Structure 1
Amino acid sequence: MTTTAEKTMQRILVVDDEASISELISTSLRFVGFDVRTAANGAQALAMAEEFRPHAMVLDVMLPDLDGFEVCKKIRNEGVDTGVLFLTAKDGMEDKVKGLTLGGDDYMTKPFSLEELVARLRALLRRTGVDHIEIDDEKMRFADLELDEATHEVRRAGNLLDLSPTEFALIRYLIINADRVVSKSQILDHVWQYDFRG
């Protein structure tokens, strides 16, 4: 079963020169079932795009050598059709238009929501025809907890827990951030405020 999951796991390349952001994104994506590699600059991104052949890239624009726009342009010129989601602090309309015109599939600005990033990646992968996630890829596991995103159910030691939507969102957020300390304000922002964003 492990072999099957590895063969069908969707490959994501995260390109960001800020190690903390790269680690946060890659850890979160692994929790929800993606096979993730990282690159810290444009040259590494181009090499990894050829070696790893990702189904999608989460690509920062402001990189220390080639910027993300150049990376996207180069891979498109080489005929690589991997999905590209720009994730950057450059929030000007001209930057968004440039990124999408050069071949980007989506554009998100920092600061960002991990939940939205995962949702946008999955939508991008559906649009590009890479939609063969195994059932297990919809589940997050931590210790004896198992969270199923498809059914919005949480089990502890195999027993179904009776949770409200907010409690589900809270557990999901804590599992995604299991390897870091999160403050009360972060929890309030990502769990409660997220429910009211339109």
Structure 2
Amino acid sequence: MRVLVIDDDPKITALLRRALTFEGYEVITAASGQEGIDMALQENPDLVVLDIMLPGLDGWEVCRQLRQHSTVPILMLTARDEVADRVKGLNLGADDYLVKPFALEELLARVHAMLRRSKQLEEAGRRLRFADLTLDLDSREARRGERTFALTAKEFDLLKLFMENPRRVLARDMIMDRIWGYDYSGESNVLEVYIGMLRQKLEEKGEARLIHTVRGVGYVLREIS
């Protein structure tokens, strides 16, 4: 399994690299917030160890941006043991929080636990659910209530992205990058076309709309009461 360490302290980075490598993990590192975001999106790590005090983008912003694109487990490190800081990190999407200086054994135990929990969730959660919508990742079957409907490959990928990020506004460019790739050079309105086709299938029997347009930004999967 691959662990990304985002920390600008070379001593901490070297310590974590040695310890995690000894435990059998592949370790990659980044020394700034932007580099960390880029590596997380490119290398697809299984877990991120993220320091808060970073040059450029701080750990808060890195965590916020990663949660717009990824569900990777995030363990935040900070020198400040303030309740407000812990709450802020968890509200931004961090999964756990460790205060410096930390005992290496505790950090390794938390990493093991987070990766084990992530693996269990992955094995048990082969179905994504939101409201009355279910997406089976093995059969690639979609269901709205009791109604089952088929999806094309791209429709499946697009709906899966939304269901992995419920209630989060997904920017149009991010969706294009994730589903069609950075080098896509096809029709500029391809996303709008696929959103329309997805909505047609999701709302075929008059069901309430779940995929909503956020004007000037992108789209979001959410219920409107």
Same fold at TM > 0.5: yes
Per-residue CA deviation, residues 67-124 of structure 1 (Å, 9 max, x unaligned), is: 111101101112x011100011121110000001100000000000111101001111
3-state SS in 1 of match to 2:74: strand
Residue aligning to 2:50: 59
For the pair 1:108 / 2:104, whether they are aligned, the reply is no
Quote the RMSD (CA, aligned, Å): 1.5
What does the per-residue CA deviation read over 1:176-195, in whole Å, with 9 as the maximum and x for residues that have no partner?
A: xxxxxxxxxxxxxxxxxxxx
Letter of the 2:75 counterpart: L
Deviation at 1:131, TM superposition (A): 9.1
Q: For residues 1-150 of structure 1, what are the structure 2 equivalents within 5 Å?
A: 10-78=1-69, 80-129=70-119
TM-score, with length taken from structure 2: 0.52
Report the residue type matching 1:20 in the other structure. Answer: K
How far apart in 1 are the matches of 2:118 and 2:64?
18
Identity between Structure 1 and Structure 2 (%):
48
Higher relative contact order (CA 8 A, sep 6+): 1
- CA offset at residue 129 of structure 1? 1.8
Please give the secondary structure, in 1, of the residue aligned with 2:40: helix
Report runs of 4+ in structure 1 exceeding 4 Å deviation: none
Aligned mates of 2:49, 2:121 — CA distance in 1:
17
Q: For residues 130-185 of structure 1, give each alpha carbon's deviation from its aligned partner in whole angstroms, at most 9, with x where no partner exists.
A: 699xxxxxxxxxxxxxxxxxxxxxxxxxxxxxxxxxxxxxxxxxxxxxxxxxxxxx
Give the total of aligned pairs: 122
5+ residue gaps in structure 1?
1-9, 133-198
Task: Give the gaps of 5 or more residues in structure 2.
Answer: 123-225
After TM superposition, give the deviation of residue 63 of structure 1 in Å.
0.4
Letter matched to residue 119 of structure 1 = A
State the distance in 2 between where 1:130 and 1:65 align. Answer: 35
Greater Rg, structure 1 or structure 2?
2
Partner of 2:193: none
Paired with 1:131 and 1:103, the residues of 2 have a C-alpha distance of 17
